[in-house]
Each structure stands twice: as C-alpha cells, then as structure tokens.
Amino acid sequence: MSLPPLVEPADELTVDEVRRYSRHLIIPDVGMAGQKRLKNAKVLCVGAGGLGSPALMYLAAAGVGTLGIIDFDVVDESNLQRQIIHGQSDVGRLKAESAAASVREINPLVEVVIHNTALTTENVMEIFSGYDLIVDGTDNFATRYMVNDAAVLLGKPYVWGSIYRFDGQASVFWAEHGPCYRCLYPEPPPPGMVPSCAEGGVLGVLCASIGSIQVNEAIKLLTGIGDPLVGRLMIYDALEMKYRDVKVRKDPECVLCGKNPTVTELLEDYEAFCGAISDEAAEAASGSTITALELKGMMDRGENIFVVDVREPNEYEIVSIPGATLIPKGEFLNGSALEKLPQDKKIVLHCKSGARSAEALAVVKSAGFSDAVHVGGGVLSWVKTVDPSLPSY
C-alpha cells in the first residue's frame, strides 16, 4: 500500500546539495521534493553493527538530514568481517564514535547525533521521540521487543531487519497502518532455541543485502514513494539467491496494537520477558557456576574432572579450552549426550558465554550428575582471564 510522506520537505537545497544529490533529483519519483524531505528527516539507527553499518552509510549518502546512532559497544576485530563502517584502526574505539566519523566522511552535510549508551526502558522513549523513523539493527530479542513497544506507544514506524548465517528478513512495522512486531511474533522463542549471530555466525555480505533493503524502505517511507513493506515480511535466502515475501496481518488480539491492548506501557524487564535463560537453567546454575580461573585451578591441581564444550563444531575449531570434549548442546537436549558422560568424574560444562552451558547443566543435573558445574562467561572469560593469546570471536 502507498503511504503519505512521513516528513515535510525542507525549505530549499543548497547548490552543494543539488550537486551532490543530482542522481536522486533526476528520478521523477524522488525529485526536488523528495530530496528536501530526506534533508528534513531525522532517522535513528539502533546499533552500529552488521545491519547498522550499511544502513548508516547509505542513509548518509542519500542525504538524510539528521542521523542518530545508538550503540554502547566497542569495535572488536571479529566485527570487521561484516561491520564495514569500522576499520582496523577503529578496534577498541566506541562503535558510535567510529560510525559517526565514517558518516561524516561520507557526507559532511549530515548532522550526526551520538547516543553512546545502552538502550533501556529508562531512555528509549525520550530518545525515540526525537526522530521521525527508527531503523532497527539489533540482534537480540529483548531489544527488538522493546524497540517495537516504544515505537507503537509513540506512534512511530520502524524498519526491522534480521540476519543469520545465509538468511535474512526485513519488514516495516507501523501500527497505525499495519501490524507490529508482536503481531508477527506474539511471544519470544524459548531460551536457547534461536542462536544469535555470535553463536551461529553470519555471512558478512548478507548484512549489506538486508541493511540496504532497510534503507530502501526508509527512503520510501520518508518520501512517500513506492509500496513499503508494511504488512509484508521479506525473506531472503542468499544460498539459493531467492527473495519471497509473506503477508503479515494485523492481529486484532495483539496485546499491544490490537482492539483491546493489555500492554499500554513498556515492560519493566524485557530480558526477563524474553528469558535470557530458562528458569530450569537459572535454577541449575545457582550455586553451580565457577569462573574460568577456578577451572584453570582445578586443571592445575589435577582434579578428577571431565570438561565438556557444548558449542558447535565450527566454534570449537576457532578456539577451545585445552582438554575439553566437544558435545554440542543439541545432544544434551535430545538426551544422546548423557551416555558420553563418565560417572566417576565431576562434569564441567562450558560454552561461549555461559547461556548454553547453563541449559545443558539443567539436563545433566536432572539426569543425576548432582555435582556438575558450568563456567560462567565460558570461552570468552577463559580468553580474557586465563589465556589472552587465544583468539576471541
């Protein structure tokens, strides 16, 4: 469906702007009026990572007048494979600062607003209220639901994207004209069911494919041209090179944007709503969590332990804790891993950060291994505190 332009046009374009945006100006659907609307627009990118990188670069090049960047992370070398707004010299630098510098280099006519902070329930409404449109490049469910809820409550549209390995998705959620994210996903998936890109990986160029689609949708919304992805979910398979879209209908029973909404303000705790780990995992980990340094001490003392890495084989190939046996988490969930565990040794589980090993720990404890433990912080903690010479990812 066609929608009216999201913003009013600016008064004029300067000579420099006419020269810079000439290839837009000669497109009849964009023209002078459309470019003036872009100049007058204020767009916030949530995240300066895989999706935020191409989105920010193309929004800047397109002439969006004000670009907001919210990200509290720092650039890591493992980011550079896909987060192309950052370079080698930016490693260790705040992502928001690094991204802002790149945006200014691409287009010095753009005003950049830096929000070097985590997006929380305390600041999301205030930050969002200063923008016309939100581009969501987050990679976790808690933030996605918070972004959606804040956008609906403020009556703002946002462009959503998601990537994993070779697959990408994109849509526009605008409750005033169609469904919201909760209409598509009323409940978050069970903890641990959907791995993040940090756990499962992502083809770097996929970020450009989905990020550019997000910018395309943003331009259409801001200028009022074309048929935006409102009420449609675009699905991209990079291996098969296939695009398809699925209709997404507004749910009249949606708790947020339905006829009788029960969610009328932000939730107190989106992490709890999305369940960072299950209740069973949290209970199992309580009192049974050790540090990487404690594991190193157990190894050095020659204690009778059996160390299990519950990550995936490709992760194990990148970096592993010496002496650990690889048994992926899926084998614990289907029960096949239990026969591989020795009865006469203390079981020590670990993963990348501690979430997956906590889920496996719940299975192990319920199977009778009452003294089993897991390593809080996982491999990341081992690399940081025990052996910094090992690669991180």
DSSP characters over 99-142: HHHHHHHH-TTSEEEEE-S---TTTHHHHHTT-SEEEE---SHH
Taken in order 37, 39, 43, 45, the sign of the CA dihedral is positive
Q: Strand pairing of 42-46 and 289-290?
A: unpaired
What CA–CA distance (Å, rounded) separates 49 from 79?
A: 8
Residue 126 CB partners (closer than 8 Å, separation 6+)? none
Residue 81 CB partners (closer than 8 Å, separation 6+)? 204
What CA–CA distance (Å, rounded) separates 345 from 347?
A: 6
Q: Is 183 a catalytic residue?
A: no
Note whether 228 and 217 are within 8 A (CB): yes
**Active-site pick, 45, 197, 207, 274:** 197
* Gap between the terminal Cα atoms of the chain: 42
Q: Is 207 a catalytic residue?
A: no
Note whether 42 and 69 are within 8 A (CB): no
What angle do the packed helices 204-223 and 52-62 form, to 10 degrees? 40
Taken in order 305, 382, 385, 361, the sign of the CA dihedral is negative
Note whether 177 and 229 are within 8 A (CB): no
- Alpha carbon dihedral 362, 367, 373, 374, in 10-degree steps, equals -50
Residue 245 CB partners (closer than 8 Å, separation 6+)? 229, 232, 233, 234, 235
Tokens of 384: 């940081």
Q: Strand pairing of 42-46 and 346-350?
A: unpaired
DSSP characters over 325-359: EE--HHHHHTSTTGGGS-TTSEEEEE-SSSHHHHH
Question: Which residue numbers are catalytic?
Answer: 197, 351
